[in-house]
Amino acid sequence: MHTVAIVALDGVVPFDLSIPTEVFRHVRLPFGGPGYQVRVCGLTPEVHAGAFRVKTHHGLGSLARADTIFLPGIMDLSAPVPPALLKALRAAAGRGTRIASICTGAFLLAATGLLDGLRATTHWMAAEELARRHPAIQVDPNVLYVDNGQLLTSAGAAAGLDLCLHLVRRDHGAAVAADAARLAVMPLERDGGQSQFITHVPPAPEGASLEPLLHWMEDHLHRPLTLQALARKAAMSERTLSRHFREQTGTTPLQWLLHARVRRAQHLLETTSQSVEAIAAKVGFGSLTTFREHFQRFVATSPLAYRRAFRGGLEGLSAGGRSAPPPPGAPRRTRAAS
């Protein structure tokens, strides 16, 4: 089973510590089994976490047996990073272990030198300080997370949820990630990049005026829906509809529709044996070429490569307990902030 080790130091941010603990602990695979084993590791058996103290059951030695290591944020950026942690992280990186940070946990990862020459992020309030201390890192304060493959960093607070769900999605596919998102009561899509990791169209806020229209659009993705047709269905002018769409969904009717069609296609590619041509028609793309262009734009790979990677990962795990890797040639992802 994939083991996630979460490092808890004195001064750990409790919210950041709880995010990977709860997300990965509740992941369930299609056959019902757990997706991850979670261990909270500390330098000492008990650590200070602000208003309370946390007891840890594992030491830093557990990092040597982890598949993924998480570094939650720390409250005091002036506190020295324990040499034992730096040594353990560098050794883990040398073994190919995946290492991710949440919020100011990026300062711990940066102290190892592993992020030098790479793009990274942290809480926007700490981004300038991270860049000052580590000029070799390309600090981007405007994104929710940065995925460099083996090394990942996220912005503060809820961005840690985005990163965790992204990793679940990378490991086990969209269907498992969607279930994890529902358990976390997390919106399945946040404004910005990386929407390819969401399989279901998020409903509008309860009681929002566009809610009935959005559900109707979901049910009629196969039809050639124009702005004029949508305005007529909503009983409002095209201009008014576009304004309400922007206010309530953060995007335009056309972009929302394209995202919805691609997400539906992802789900069908993962869960059915229908041909790519049949799926393109079923989700409302007028031609296979148009479907491939939009799929490539949103998912950064082709429909066939996506199916090979994620349908295979859902049907069965390898002997080593890992799911299929990301599609060959797919670029490393960065989730843009809203």
The per-residue pLDDT for range 61-96, each reduced to its tens digit, is 999 999 999 999 999 999 999 999 999 999 999 999
Let me know: does 45 contact 58? Beta carbons within 8 Å.
no
Does domain 2-184 fall into CATH 3.40.50.720? no
User: Model-level pTM?
Assistant: 0.61
pLDDT of residue 158: 86
- Please name the residues in contact with 91: beta carbons below 8 A apart, sequence gap of 6 or more: 63, 64
Q: How confident is the model at residue 114 (pLDDT cuts 50, 70, 90)?
A: very high
| Residue 205 predicted with pLDDT over 60 | no
Average pLDDT score over residue span 94-123: 96
| Residue 189 predicted with pLDDT over 60 | no
Catalytic pick from 54, 103, 234, 241? 103
Q: How confident is the model at residue 39 (pLDDT cuts 50, 70, 90)?
A: very high
pLDDT of residue 49: 93
Distances (CA, A) of 273 to 269, 290, 299: 7, 21, 20
Percent pLDDT > 70 in the chain is 85
The CATH 1.10.10.60 portion of the chain extends over 210-315
Q: How confident is the model at residue 270 (pLDDT cuts 50, 70, 90)?
A: confident
- Please name the residues in contact with 258: beta carbons below 8 A apart, sequence gap of 6 or more: 294, 298
Which tokens sit at 223?
């039809």
103 a catalytic residue: yes
Q: Please, what is the average pLDDT of the chain?
A: 85
Residue in the block written with tokens 């949508």:
230
**Quick one: fold of 210-315?**
Arc Repressor Mutant, subunit A (1.10.10)
The CATH 3.40.50.880 portion of the chain extends over 2-184
3-class DSSP state for residue 48?
Answer: strand
The terminus-to-terminus CA distance of the chain in angstroms comes to 34
Average pLDDT score over residue span 162-191: 82
